[in-house]
Amino acid sequence: MQSAAAPDTLDLQRELAQQLVQALNLNVAAADIDPAAPLFREGLGLDSIDILEIALVVSKRYGVEIKADSADNHKIFSSLAALTEFIAQRRTK
């Protein structure tokens, strides 16, 4: 299921999916990650340690800091599409 995002955002989404697969050693192809599926539990099944790893990757790769105590973290990490949008709006790299 593809989102109706702009082409640049779709490129970022594909790149980010690949980064997640590599950083977390996921047993799924990046192209098979549904952008709208939850990252936690029933979606990719990620946990809080995985989210910390993602935040580190996002900081290093895109220059976007995600604070551990942010009230928006649930929304930011709700799906690949949400994370992509967050990064697209704030990236410095």
pLDDT (0 to 100) of residue 3:
44
Per CATH, domain 7-90 is 2.60.40.10: no
Sequence letter at residue 41: R
Output the CA–CA distances (angstroms, integers) from residue 85 to 3, 12, 27, 76, in the order listed: 11, 9, 24, 8
- pLDDT by residue (tens digit) across 29-61? 999 999 999 998 788 889 989 999 999 999 999
The DSSP 8-state label assigned to residue 32 in this structure reads G
- Chain Cα centroid distance, residue 10: 12
Cβ atoms 64, 89 nearer than 8 A = no
* pLDDT over 50 at 28, yes or no: yes
Tokens 């709208």 belong to which residue? Answer: 36
- Chain Cα centroid distance, residue 47: 13
Domain ranges of the chain: 7-90
- Chain Cα centroid distance, residue 92: 16
pTM for the whole thing?
Answer: 0.87
* Neighbour tally for 81: CB within 10 Å: 20
